[in-house]
Structure 1
Amino acid sequence: MELGLSGKVAIVTGSSKGIGLQTALQLVKEGANVVLCARGEEDLQKAAAFIKAETGEEVLVVPGDITKEEACKRIVQKTVDHYGRVDILVNNAGTSSANHFESVDTDLWQTDLDLKLFGAIHTSKAAIPYMRKVGGGAIVNVTAVLGKTPPANSLPTTVSRAAGMALTKAMSKDLGKDNIRVNTVCIGLIRSNQIESMWKKNAPELTWEEYSRDVVGPSIPLNRIGETAEAANVITFLVSDAASYVTGTSVNIDGGSGGTL
């Protein structure tokens, strides 16, 4: 299948590791020019070196704190200054913050919303005018499947992620006339540093495959934890020409564990 990504310019936030890094790698493999963004420059440079080793291609590194609107504008401007355009934005930056409702203070609510919701808002607002100039674009907001069915002790993350889903739908309605598509992926259990730490702490005698299948797998219909590349593949499809008639939707990447469509 031809994805039509060759020569496109993509910004991926939170791309120094995990799903963001794997998405950036996949986009480069498909011929896109990619901009890596995260707060830590050292980790970004390591990510850029990893992509260069895997593909032979250079990526642009732009450190920045997307909780700050001016940083979001600067990231987009540096992209345009370097590549001359913006076609794709993957709003991936985020962390997990899960607590009991009464234990979440005002500062934590604000920090979480600034990162997961307003970061996507500010970066999108900065990128959209440049997408219009090239006749359209694609935005993917990375959220979480638990945002659809929040369990106990899951705040503020599930609220921020649910807001990201609503943002996606509203943006898709506003921007469809400009041929700018907006979708969200809802992430379930995907291999990460946090999950690997749990594995090494709780079951060091098991291989990763055994831990994924035998310890965590029984709670997931596909009977294993997902890999970052599997999430990246879905994101890459959604920003590609192969998904040209897909907008305003959410795709669960959770091995079937979610309780909603």
Structure 2
Amino acid sequence: MDFTGKVAVVTGASSGIGLAAAKMLSKHGAYVISLARDEGNLRKSIDSIEADVRKNITGIATDVRDEASVKQAIEQTVSMYGQIDILINAAGVSMPGKQLLQEIELKQWQRIMETNLTGTFLMSREALLRMNERNSGYIINILSTAAFQAGGGDSIYSASKYGARALTESMISASRRSGVRVSSISPGAVDTNIWSHKLEPVSQESRDTMLKPGDIADIILFLLTRPRAVHIDNITVTSWDR
């Protein structure tokens, strides 16, 4: 598939699924706007990409939780390229470990909900405004199996992903028979640096059995290359080895 001339915005693009998606899209010819909060990490990630791939990637330090920051990133994208064809909402954070509801502080709730849910809302809203002008575009939200089954001790994360799922389903319903498509991908455990921030270390043996960021990038490519008449609401994917 050739995405030459297409403009893709990817959040959470300094690592994990976001970085894998940005690389995949650039390899297929898209102009990619990579967004992440930490400018240093974002720049380091882009610099680590092969020269022939990173030439199509522009990094913009963006906090998806902040309305002004999101608007500025979208406006800068449109100023550079005149359009937005693809949005991949891959930014996300998780809990440091299993916690009972009564153990959770408000700041933990706010951090996860604002990134996983508010960030998806803000990015989608601003992108939709531009996509609807051209009656064309594709938004893919990275959810989780936690959006369908809440586990004990995962209350905030599950609530954020259930909320993002509801938001996605509403967007799909509102976009039916328009030129803008909306889908989600709901992976099980993916081997990203999110596991490095857990209070209890996750063994390398366990991480080896997880999905890889490239697996999710491959599914993103599959969705983007379906004919316009084909719509897939959600793809749930888990590791066969876990």
The normalised TM-score by structure 2 is 0.89
What does residue 110 of structure 2 align with? 110
Letter in structure 1 aligned against 2:84: V
Compare CA radii of gyration and give the structure with the larger one.
1
Match of 1:221 in 2: none
Alignment match, 2:210? 225
The percentage of aligned residue pairs carrying the same residue is: 27
The one-letter code of the counterpart of 1:242 is R
Larger deviation, residues 46-55 vs 189-198:
189-198
Counterpart amino acid of 1:107? K
Which amino acid is the alignment partner of residue 133 of structure 1?
Answer: E
Structure 2 match to 1:255:
239
CA distance, structure 2, for counterparts of residue 182 and residue 99 of structure 1? 33
- Residue 194 to residue 83, structure 1, CA distance change in 2 (3 Å): same
Alignment of 1:63-74 (within 5 A): 63-74=61-72
Structure 2 residue ranges without an equivalent (≥5): none
Asked if the contact 1:172–1:248 (Cα under 8 Å) also holds between the matched residues in 2, the reply is no
AA in 2 matched with 1:254: T
Deviation at 1:244, TM superposition (A): 2.9
- Matched AA of 1:34: V
In structure 2, the partner of 1:93 is 91
Tell me if structure 2 keeps the 8 A contact 1:169–1:248: no
Q: Deviations over 1:219-250 (max 9, x none)?
A: xxxxx321110111112222x24253444612
The residue correspondences of 1:1-261 to structure 2 (distance < 5 A) are 3-53=1-51, 55=53, 57-97=55-95, 98-195=98-195, 211-212=205-206, 224-238=209-223, 240-242=224-226, 244-247=228-231, 249-255=233-239
Kindly tell me the number of residue pairs found equivalent between the two proteins: 238
Cα distance, 1:4 vs structure 2: 4.6
Look up the equivalent residue of 1:150 and give its one-letter code.
A
| Shift, 1:48, TM fit | 1.7
Q: Cα distance, 1:26 vs. partner?
A: 0.3
The 3 A distance-change label for structure 1 pair 19 and 241 is same
In the alignment, the residues of structure 2 paired with residue 4 and residue 134 of structure 1 have an alpha-carbon distance, to the nearest angstrom, of 20
CA drift of 1:17 comes to 0.6
SS in 1 for 2:211: coil
Shift of 1:256: 5.0
Kindly indicate whether the alpha-carbon contact (under 8 Å) linking 2:137 and 2:180 is maintained by their aligned counterparts in 1.
yes
> What amino acid maps onto 2:210 in structure 1?
I
- Consecutive unaligned residues of structure 1, counting only runs of 5 or more, are 218-223
8 A contact 1:87–1:134 mirrored in 2: no
* One-letter code aligned to 1:5: F
SS class of match (2:168): helix
1:141–1:29 CA distance, 2 compared to 1 (3 A): same
Distance 1:111 1:135, change over 3 A: same
* Amino acid paired to 1:227: K
Q: Which residue in 2 is equivalent to 1:220? A: none
Whether the aligned pair in 1 keeps the contact of 2:24 and 2:217 (CA below 8 Å) is: yes
